[in-house]
A and B are shown apart, each in its own frame.
Chain A
Amino acid sequence: MHVIVTGADRLGRAVARWLVAGGHEIAVVDSRRERCIAIDEAFGSVSVLGSPVDRSVLAQAGANRADMLIATDEDDGANLVTCQIAKQRFEVPTTMSVVNRSDHVDLFNVLGVDVVVDVPDLILNQIQEGFTSHGITHLKPLPAVETEQSLVSIHVPASYGPEGRRLDSFPFPDGTLPSLVVTREGVPRLPSGDFMVRAGDEIIAVTTAEGEDELRDLLESGPLT
């Protein structure tokens, strides 16, 4: 894919590195010369020096043939305008933007930015994870259905031991659906009832808000016999 990244600060650079590693063609737009030089030194001549809210700069970055634009600036106004130019003037199929103030998230969604990343919320979630260490990470809310469901990752704590226990012996709450197990070696497995879950494994599951509370209690109380 051809992907335009706007903003060559640390975040933009990390996104660029990940895209290049994935074999994608990139162009990185930033109005600061030293950041463009750093990008070119790291990834070859892929930087475009100029304002990301200038149509001619985006054209130079290949907006006409871009499959995606990712706005990573610290300025929400610039990110929004960049995404709107990409959609209105270049019909870029997918626009993605970080949002630095959570109160702008709804607006970005309403105005048609395809993927909106709420930076303060993400960081807060990570802090909450570290603070409570309950081993459940929110991956994604699932829209639609009347009950509020989300995709979560459950880290199986050390107290569950290396020999493990059958997945179907876990007293999962109603509405909780284990969908994938990533073993502690990093191997993804589709879980069957007789799958042996061990400490360090990660269970990806669909659950409800109430289910999540029960799961948390379950994990904190240690392995059930």
Chain B
Amino acid sequence: MVLADRPILGPKHILIVGSGDLGAAVAMALVAQGNTVHVLDRTPEAFDRLPDGAVEEQRIIPVVGDGTSHHDLVRAGIRGVDVFMSVMRNDSDNILAAQVATHEFNVDVVVCRVDDPDLQNMYEEMGLITIGATSLLVEVAVQTATA
């Protein structure tokens, strides 16, 4: 399904792999916009970063598991999501998880965190949608310095 075929408005189901500082913050921002967010992380303690209220109301659904495991991704609801984001700390883990979501589960929109700028370029060229801390910060730093 191409993006244009999808309804532009309306709440989405989003699966975030990695409930670190970034994953938790993205989950909260998306929930604030009315979306439902599933969060998958290997360590249950990582879910302490999520707001209790949203979890109780099931607007955020935390699942303990490995973001590169088919079994755990299915448990976290990957078959029903519109958007998949892998935002763990390790680039390789994110790239593996994102490619599993793309090729094995055909998720419509897959976003992958890749902090190494060289790897980020390569996977962008290969068609992955990436976000990278290094390239973002460089951009902001250059803008700030030259403003």
Contact = CB atoms under 8 A, between A and B. Distances in A.
A101 B91 CA distance: 18
B97 to A, nearest CB: 8
Q: How large is the interface on A (under 10, 10 to 19, 20 to 34, 35 or more residues)?
A: 20 to 34
A103 B69 contact: yes
Nearest to B102: A107
Contacts, number: 55
B60 to A, nearest CB: 25
B112 to A, nearest CB: 11
B70 A84 contact: no
B68 A53 contact: no
A80 B126 contact: no
A154 to B, nearest CB: 35
B69 A77 contact: no
Contact of A103 (B70, B91, B99, B126): B70
Contact of A101 (B69, B94, B116, B122): B69
A53 B104 CA distance: 23
A75 B103 CA distance: 19
Contact of B122 (A89, A104, A107, A110): A89
8 contacts: A53-B91, A76-B68, A78-B92, A84-B126, A88-B122, A89-B122, A103-B69, A104-B100
